[in-house]
């Protein structure tokens, strides 16, 4: 795995640049608070950043990285922050996940102290520059910077090294029907397809058109012509159907996942199949962690 250098002005201004060779000189088993050199810590003491903008990790690519780590180790250290007796990841969650798959017991890190906003900005910038975010994840991250951290769109654009127009175009994607957004996440549509669909204000019509795009493999230009024709003809409004509010409100399920994560202590994913059916997935990374989860379930059952 090649060392990634020159991550960009936005990220370099927030993260201490790495000095090759320092790692062997400054290697330690556990890092004290407020250090900023490279050190080794136990991988079990590290947990993901709860504000991580990236939600989807390609399992095949993760396994490829794990195979590389088995051969070459983790070349680029994680950026972490002290949290209680352990550490929270600021940048490098994908490397951390792959390192666990590779069976590593320790992992190189740089320990830094940041505000919540700085942690979120660093995680966002790293993912953008590595092209690890899907368009909806990126749009939600910009929205959080604006709404939670009270930044203006111009400020967000400057922080991430994009034009204000690009940031605006990403955030417009959040106006799409929830099912269309999911198609974008799953790479069934491109951002160009999705932006063309924004001209359709009827959410059901958006979704039906998105399915047509996917089924017929329409190009972006073909979609633009199709949508223009549909809006000019002003078709009769489709028969009103009952709207599944939950299907269009990902925040509800993300909130439930977070609650379950806090109870169980491991990542939890809720995958909806239909309005009333779905499944809950709990991640574990060792037999010890599985035993802990089972013991917790037994305790809950016996209460």
Catalytically annotated residues:
93
DSSP helix/strand/coil, 76:
coil
Pairing status of strand 268-272 against strand 106-111: unpaired
HEC sequence for the chain: CCCCCCCCHHHHCCCCCCCCCHHHHCCCCCCCCCCCCEEEEEHHHEECCCCCCCCCCCHHHHHHHHHHHHHHCCCCCEEEEEECCEEEEEECHHHHHHHHHCCCCEEEEEECCCCHHHHHHHHHHHHHHCCCCCHHHHHHHHHHHHHCCCCCHHHHHHHHCCCHHHHHHHHHHHHCCHHHHHHHHCCCCCHHHHHHHCCCCCHHHHHHHHHHHHHHCCCHHHHHHHHHHHHHHCCCCCCCCCCCHHHHCHHHHHHHHHHHHHHHCCCEEEEECCCCCEEEEECCCCHHHHHHHHHHHHHHHHC
Query: Alpha helix (H) ranges present in 217-286?
Result: 220-233, 250-264
């Amino acid at each position: 795995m090649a060392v990634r250098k020159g991550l960009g002005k936005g990220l370099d201004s927030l993260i201490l640049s790495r000095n090759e060779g320092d790692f062997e000189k400054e290697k330690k088993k556990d890092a004290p608070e407020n250090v900023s050199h490279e050190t080794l810590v136990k991988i079990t003491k590290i947990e993901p950043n709860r504000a991580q903008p990236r939600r989807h990790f390609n399992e095949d690519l993760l396994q490829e990285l794990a195979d590389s780590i088995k051969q070459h180790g983790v070349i680029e250290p994680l950026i972490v922050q002290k949290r209680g007796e352990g550490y929270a990841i600021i940048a490098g969650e994908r490397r951390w996940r792959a390192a666990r798959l590779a069976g590593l017991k320790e992992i190189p890190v740089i320990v830094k102290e940041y505000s919540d906003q700085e942690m979120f900005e660093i995680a966002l910038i790293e993912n953008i520059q590595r092209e690890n975010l899907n368009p909806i994840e990126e749009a939600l991250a910009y929205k959080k910077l604006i709404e939670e951290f009270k930044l203006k769109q111009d400020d967000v654009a400057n922080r991430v090294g994009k034009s204000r127009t690009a940031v605006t175009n990403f955030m417009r994607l959040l106006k799409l029907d929830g099912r269309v957004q999911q198609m974008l996440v799953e790479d069934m549509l491109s951002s160009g397809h999705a932006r063309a669909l924004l001209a359709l204000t009827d959410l059901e019509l958006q979704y039906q058109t998105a399915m047509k795009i996917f089924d017929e493999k329409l190009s972006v230009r073909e979609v633009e012509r199709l949508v223009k024709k549909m809006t000019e003809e002003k078709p009769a409004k489709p028969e009103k159907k009952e709207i599944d509010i939950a299907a269009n409100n990902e925040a509800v399920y993300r909130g439930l996942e977070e609650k379950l994560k806090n109870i169980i202590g491991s990542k939890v994913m809720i995958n909806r199949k239909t309005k009333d059916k779905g499944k809950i997935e709990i991640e574990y990374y060792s037999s010890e962690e599985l035993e802990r989860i089972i013991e917790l379930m037994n305790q809950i059952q016996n209460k």
